[in-house]
Amino acid sequence: MVDRAPGLRERRRARTLQTIREHAMRLFLERGYDATTVSEVAEAAEVSSMTVFRYFPTKEDLVLADEYDPLILERITERPSDEPLLLRLGNGLITAYEQLTAQEQEVLLRRVRLCLSTPALRARLWDSQYTTQQAITEALCGASDDPEHRFRVWVSAGVCLSAVSAALVRWAEEDARPSMGDLMRQVLTIVAEESSG
């Protein structure tokens, strides 16, 4: 009986989070990000503004907060450690993306579209990418005291994440018609060709 309570609590928390996020995205896309208030999101989700802020500390988090970093790190670190670094990072990112459900991909598409049309979100997107770059560097370097290796991983992670961002933009601009996985492979191939050329 004790074991069931945390599971139920977690399910309720996940349901509330999902409901808030869905209403926020709907309102942002219908009315515009700047024209929609957190109070309006709370009202649509039938929760208090305090509850919204408990789950999403800032308005930008309603769009940008996600749980993808752990999946990305897992897919990158499970790749063979002797694989060339750009290939290891690129293949890990592709595998992580391809594991998203169709619904998660649709949410990602709406997020990218919203970010492209909203200056405040574009600025926060850079911050989010920086955090992911730090997490990848820590995952691959750990307690390594080799500053050159750490810098190499940092640069490679930044290059791969920027390439994936370019693929996301094209994917959104072309209304998700090209496969995101194919676009990611294309941009990462460009990076590999340019770095070896």
Taking the C-alpha atoms of residue 47 and residue 177, their distance in angstroms, rounded to an integer, is 36
**Based on the domain organization, do 140 and 183 belong to the same domain?**
yes
Shared domain check, 70 and 55:
no
Which residue range is the domain that position 154 belongs to?
Answer: 66-196
Whether residues 45 and 88 share a domain: the answer is no
How does pLDDT run across 39-79, given as a tens digit for each residue?
Answer: 999 999 999 999 999 999 999 999 988 778 889 999 999 99
> Please, what is the average pLDDT of the chain?
89
Reference 66, options 128, 109, 4; nearest CA is 128
pLDDT higher than threshold 80 for residue 169: yes
pLDDT tens digit sequence for 79-104:
998 999 999 999 999 999 988 888 88
Q: Could you tell me if 162 and 76 lie in one domain? A: yes
The confidence score (pLDDT) of residue 51 equals: 95
* pLDDT reported for residue 6: 58
The residue count for the chain: 197
Please tell me whether residues 175 and 119 are part of one structural domain. yes
In Å, what is the CA distance from 48 to each residue of 41, 45, 179?
9, 9, 39
Tell me what pLDDT residue 90 has: 92
